[in-house]
Amino acid sequence: MVKTLERDLGIGAVFAISIGAMIGSGIFILPALALKIAGPAVILAYLLAGVLVVPAALSKSEMATAMPEAGGTYIYIERGMGPILGTIAGVGTWFSLSFKSALALVGGVPYLVLLFDLPVKPVAIGLAAFLIVVNMLGAKQTGRLQVGIVVVMLAALGWFVAGSVGSTQTVNYEPFFVGGWSGLLAATGLVFVSYAGVTKVASVAEEVENPGKNIPLGILGSLAFTTLLYVAIVAVMVGVTEAGSIAGSLTPVAVAAEATLGRTGVWAVIGAAILALVSTANAGILSSSRYPFAMSRDKLVPPSFATISDRFGTPTSSITLTGVVVLLLIAFVPILEIAKLASAFQILVFVLVNLAVFAFRQGAADYEPVFESPLYPWMQGFGVLSGLLLLTQMGTIALAGAVVIIVGSIVWYVVYARPRIQREGVATDVVRRRVGKNVLAETETLMTAESVTERNGNEVLVALTRDVSLDRERALLRLAADLARPNNGRLVVVRFDEVPDQAPLNHAAEVQSPADVRFEEQTDTLVDELDVDVDYGEIVSHDTKRAIVNFATQRDVSAVVAEHERLRLRSRLLADPIDWVVRHAPCDVLLVENRGYDRPQQVVLASEGGPYDPTTVAVADAIARETGGQVTLQFNMADGQSNQRRRTIEEYQTELAELLSASVSANVVRFDGGDSLPNPDVVIRRGATTRIWGGRDSQQRTTVDCTEVTVYPNESRRPGLVRRLIDRLVF
């Protein structure tokens, strides 16, 4: 019998979990730090932070009702955005919880010091060590204890607000915008972590009754309640104390309570603060152990982090690692920087939460949330942009920490996780489909021309850069004729004769060598075999590659067809890996590995790790149409790729086949890493003008025994750097 979790958490329990996860360091510690930055405008900072959390709260509510199962933010981001962003989210959330635990302990001990004369850091370290041991031994909070802590906190804070509001003075709010708008945004970013727990209930979504209703109501209701409570408490704190008296204080709520409620109020606040902060620290250590555990289960981190102690029944490796980080933070990082780091990582995770909704909405066929976020996609877009704006206000250390975590997570994923996993996120397929549709649209636009030559002109230049046999020249001319014929185009066949720099060009042009005679005789013979107009001649120069480009520019040819000539056509400086003619020609360039060409029937269009290039598609279609052949689509895909990737590429191939005028064979997706099909007559592929595209360099040859044509589109039709990178990553 399959065991399931009983759905016995009602709206009240959901409300208590969310509020209990939020109230802690956010109100007992951060107001004084934020007041030092923004002055009385800290009141608005708490209100603004609450508003900016709304998109993530709505997004998390939606995903929790679509996937009401045990888990956390990491699960949603990993499934929606893919393993690499899941790694970033998992590591970022884990660090955020660790920072929050450290912040709670460093900020909670000063309240304890009000009762006992104790050193802050040693006591905080001792409490942290105690909580780490408690978590390792398997002790945990009960639901009743958590509810009891929430009740005590709310009672104490409610008494503080009600008993102090009458003592506020207008003068204490002036001047209001001490730090200006930049100070307000910086304070907003700092206190953002105060609302981090609002979506914690999603991690127990599998236990919530009627999750489609109770999860969004609980999350949004608790967020609204906590935001109003925070604003009220901070407004009272500022209003009952002299300007700046609590700015930078380690116990701001106690200072304010003493001014209005006397010693009794201080005792009540101290009790609530210690309970809340110890509870927050313990919950942070407990919760953070779930992230290495879940990531280990998904093979993103070593399996040791998913190991459960036989003696204690707890993930000791995860708890130990978290504990070490918490202890180091308490010992060496100032409390303000801990707060900024905690907020920065939480903002980053909430940005990814909003992006995950985009991915699920656009790409997951089985994504059916009971609750749907209103104002999609504007709400999520606002959440992403506002989060990125707040990150810029977090200061150098927080930003550096975020960058280090992101870069480190990516490196870890590439080195460790990527070889061990085969899945991908919904977002990857969304981007892949969009890339495919964009390339299909470009291909359709290009294919509206009746032929390759119609796009730029009606002449194809066949550039001969060395002596070739009759059969080799025949193959080049037949191929070029198939490209020119549909638009009544013509061929221009030119033998480029390169002479040393010391030799005068006039003299070389006047002397007819045996090679010149052979060229004229065999070209004259071949002209009679072709049903297109042909002009032919010779050009003498000191630099063949420049002569080809100059001639192509003067004649405004549509394409240059030439055999690979690795010495003549390439730059001789710095061993440039890209053909000079390719980079400077004003038209398409087709470089041919010439192994014969005689009305090919099997034309293979090969992809080199990206979508099929439109110009290359047009060349393959033109050849197959003129020879009565068939285009076979080839896409190399290694074993172990996701089924979704295969389905998407097959759909893309099907749509591409509908654009071609020639016959197209059944879609072919290779899984063995091979680079050709059995017995092709000619292989057409796109050439690489940069390493990012991933195409075949002109020096590389395959073992296939047929002519290979490498197509280099005119520069105006080459995709940009970002586009090439995206194509390479998603295809």
- Tokens 């359709």 locate to 444
* Residue-level pLDDT at 69: 58
Instruction: Report the alpha-carbon distance of residue 336 to residue 34 in Å, rounded.
Output: 9
Q: Output the pTM of the full model.
A: 0.69
> Can you list the residues of the chain whose pLDDT is less than 50?
1-8, 70, 139-143, 450-453, 455-456, 567-578, 671, 673-676, 691-701
Q: Phi and psi for 469 in degrees, rounded to 5?
A: -75, 170
Which residues on neighbouring strands pair with residue 201, listed in sequence order? none
What span, in angstroms and rounded, lies between the C-alpha atoms of 378 and 145? Answer: 40
Residue 25: what pLDDT? 66
> How many Cβ atoms are within 10 Å of 267's Cβ, its own excluded?
16
Region of residue 183 (left: phi > 0; alpha: psi -120 to 50; beta: else): alpha
Q: Which two tokens stand for residue 574?
A: 């710095």
CA distance 489 to 191: 70
Average pLDDT in the chain: 78
Determine the pLDDT at residue 384. Answer: 93
**What residues are paired with 606 via a beta bridge?**
634, 685
Give rounded-to-5 percent helix, strand, coil for the chain.
60, 10, 30
- Give the pLDDT of residue 467: 83
The secondary structure of 682-700, three-state, reads: EEEEEECCCCCCCCECCCC
- Please tell me the predicted confidence (pLDDT) of residue 711: 92
CA distances from 351 to 125, 290, 333 (A): 32, 21, 26
CA pair distance 40, 570, nearest whole angstrom:
68
**Nearest alpha carbon to residue 318 among 347, 268, 284, 363:** 284
Q: Which residue, among 203, 205, 200, 199, has the nearest Cα to 369 in the 3D structure?
A: 205
Instruction: Quote the CA–CA distance of 198 and 675 in Å, as a whole number.
Output: 52
Q: What is the model's pLDDT at position 677?
A: 55
What is the spatial distance between Cα 555 and Cα 538, in angstroms, rounded to a whole number?
A: 15
pLDDT, residue 684, reads 92
Q: Could you read off the pLDDT of 384-394 as tens digits, one per residue?
A: 999 998 888 88
**Residue carrying the six token digits 């280090």:** 404
CA distances in angstroms from 169 to 166, 233, 236, 263, 315, listed in the order given: 9, 14, 9, 21, 52
